[in-house]
Amino acid sequence: MHTKLGLVLAAVLVAAPATAMTVAEFIGRVDAIKANPFLYFSHVKALKTEGKAAGAAWEAQIAPPGRKPNACPPRDVKEMTSTEFMAMLNRVPPAQRTTMTVTEATIAGLNRLYPCRA
């Protein structure tokens, strides 16, 4: 009986959507890696996944159908470096870092970086 319950719980945990990482959590993980490079492999996959998901969410919201675009990036826009990405996250006010997700910060930051002109 306990084995079945364990399997059900394991299935629920695997199927449950991951919660979005806050800016504070992301910065904290990066800072932990800087302090102890041995943590790199235990954190890098989650950080890369979060960054890529945030970038994809930003691209998806650029030009909503039937509405004015939210951002107007140049055609030759290049992928941000990790330094540029961290600088953008560090611009989030400390009081908002625990409630703002990396995706929300990315969308807001890139929309400010690539505003639509006229």
For the chain, 118 residues long, the average pLDDT of each consecutive 10-residue run is 37 46 97 94 94 94 91 90 96 97 97 90
Q: What are phi and psi of 74, to 5 degrees?
A: -65, 155
Are 43 and 84 contacting, i.e. CB atoms less than 8 angstroms apart?
Answer: no
In one-letter notation, the amino acid at residue 24 is A
What pTM, to 2 d.p., does this model score?
0.79
Would you state the pLDDT for residue 10?
35
Domain locations in the chain as residue ranges: 20-113
Would you state the pLDDT for residue 49?
95
Q: How many CB atoms lie within 10 A of CB 54?
A: 24
What is the signed CA dihedral for 117, 23, 32, 91, rounded to 10 degrees? 40
